[in-house]
A and B are shown apart, each in its own frame.
Chain A
């Protein structure tokens, strides 16, 4: 009797996903360097967006911290990358973000959602300031060098993290914890009185979502040979996952993927040439989406489908 909570109801969806995965795995063999780098960026944004949705979607607690966790991952790679192999420092990046998120969550997730949101908003500035102070006062350096890694390696690493994230998302959604997460978003007090340890579920899920952002950051750091706190901690990277999730729509799994793909592509083409215009554009799109398209593209498609089926029903009567 248990209804599936994931959009994997149709039998052909797993098959389609597998096909896409195979195609993606083989991409480096026949694609140009430009496209490999582009797709790596798209994968990164899908990771950021989907991990944001993992926590903020069902619970409704809006996190503005993705940039902070991404930056923690970048800096972990910068600190460890010259001494340790890629898989190790990527996992370390994930772990570091996990720990930061645990602390942030433990502090703020016991309180109303607004405290959580405002704490996460300032987090990226806070960590940046602390690192600047640390580097300036204690180590006297400014910025660090990062190990250089082949583009194909970056691509495969990102793909691996994404696959891991999708599997994790699926497992969580199908499990009792997914049910608990949803119940927290629907009525947190009732959930607590039904036996759900709401604080622990929130904090753990938040930390898990943060770890993927950290891992993505650690991988991406290798694309820049040199990072400093200002590059690593950029509020735009908190903004984009939120925009992508809302624009794409959070009702179905493909929503964030759609949103991430559209904007990752836009960013690659516009950000370097017209940075201010680009950011102006995405800011405007977010506002328009919130006001006029609250369900995102997914919501739009669902409305369209319902309108078509209604027309079909009317035709049959």
Chain B
């Protein structure tokens, strides 16, 4: 009995940590840059596939890939925002129109990234084995890779959360999220902050991807489902609230773990059910206004 509970809890924390990372990334992009980036999952996928290639072809330690994929994804996100979304911002007549246009543009981005990846990697499902040594925790057996992933997800997630809450740059980000115009007047370089946040969001996605690849098989089509999960967590936590995404991620992770224990195929349906309940009862989310 205890073993089962431990299994479910640890797995829930693992899922939760990953969900929190991807949700915080999306929350950053939507909350600050006001872009609902539905190609978010594709950055996760890129993190996964790149790690796989680095490991199987070049023998690079996956944890080293964190240091490679994170900054690369940040750069990619930064550039995409500076070129595409900034242009959209100036050509959109109102924030509402920009929200719609940017979402549609990210829809196009989804297809671009996914198919470039398909051309690079092909449609096959890949996996690699690293640190798959069993670890015994009070009777429950886990792969070391999963435990280390959990650790990393928690550390990175917490670090990011503190960054936004405590540092000067974090304050600038929160100011930009609340009121871009005033923040600009207060000396915050708004354009840079927006692109920075978009890039950071992409980086978080790629980092999550690296961690995911340690425990799961990967393929170029895996992104969409993660995007949907990220969206549900962001809605659950409150659109645009980073603490909300952090908490919501773990909440959904625990729920996902319990549902997976009952029937793994139903996890997405369970998440959607949560989504529906949130929309009906408290659309602004746990920490939304």
The answer on direct contact between A and B (beta carbons under 8 Å) is yes
Q: Which of A38-46, A88-96, A276-284, A296-304 contacts B (4 or more CB under 8 A)?
A: A276-284
A160 contacts chain B at the CB level, 8 A cutoff: no
Residues of B within 8 A of A114 (CB): 36, 99, 103, 239
Q: Closest approach, in angstroms, between the C-beta of A22 and any C-beta of chain B?
A: 37
- The answer to whether B107 and A64 touch across the interface, beta carbons within 8 angstroms, is yes
With A115-B235, A276-B119, A291-B91 already in contact, the answer to whether A284 and B228 are too (CB < 8 A) is: no
Q: How many B residues face the partner with a CB closer than 8 A?
A: 43
- The answer to whether B84 and A125 touch across the interface, beta carbons within 8 angstroms, is no
Q: Which of A128-136, A168-176, A192-200, A257-265 contacts B (4 or more CB under 8 A)?
A: A128-136
Identify the closest chain B residue to A123 (Cβ): B272
Q: Closest approach, in angstroms, between the C-beta of A114 and any C-beta of chain B?
A: 6
B112 contacts chain A at the CB level, 8 A cutoff: yes
A122 contacts chain B at the CB level, 8 A cutoff: yes
- The answer to whether B112 and A122 touch across the interface, beta carbons within 8 angstroms, is no
- The answer to whether B268 and A121 touch across the interface, beta carbons within 8 angstroms, is no
Residues of B within 8 A of A294 (CB): 91, 101
Q: Closest approach, in angstroms, between the C-beta of A201 and any C-beta of chain B?
A: 19
Chain B contact residues: over half helix, strand or loop, or mixed? helix
Mark out the residues of chain A between 107 and 150 whose CB falls within 8 Å of any chain B CB in the assembled complex: 107-108, 111, 113-115, 117-119, 121-122, 125-126, 129-130, 132-133, 136-137
Q: Closest approach, in angstroms, between the C-beta of A240 and any C-beta of chain B?
A: 10
- The answer to whether A111 and B279 touch across the interface, beta carbons within 8 angstroms, is yes
Complex: A286 Cα to B265 Cα, angstroms: 33
Interface size class of A (residues with CB under 8 A): 35 or more
Residues of A within 8 A of B265 (CB): 129, 132-133, 136-137
Residues of B within 8 A of A246 (CB): 104
Q: Closest approach, in angstroms, between the C-beta of A277 and any C-beta of chain B?
A: 8
Complex: A284 Cα to B115 Cα, angstroms: 11
Between-chain CB contacts (< 8 Å), 30 pairs: A60-B100, A107-B279, A111-B283, A114-B99, A114-B103, A117-B36, A117-B103, A119-B279, A121-B228, A122-B272, A125-B224, A125-B225, A126-B269, A126-B272, A129-B266, A129-B268, A132-B265, A133-B263, A133-B266, A133-B269, A137-B265, A235-B224, A239-B107, A276-B119, A283-B111, A285-B108, A286-B105, A286-B107, A290-B104, A291-B105
Q: Give me the interface of B with A, judged by CB distance under 8 Å.
A: 36, 38, 84, 87-88, 91, 96, 99-101, 103-105, 107-112, 114-116, 118-119, 224-225, 227-228, 231-232, 235, 239, 263, 265-266, 268-269, 272, 275-276, 279-280, 283
Seed contacts A113-B100, A283-B110, A284-B108; 17 additional CB < 8 Å A-B pairs: A111-B279, A114-B239, A115-B279, A117-B103, A118-B36, A118-B235, A121-B231, A126-B228, A133-B263, A279-B111, A283-B108, A290-B88, A290-B105, A291-B84, A291-B87, A291-B91, A294-B101
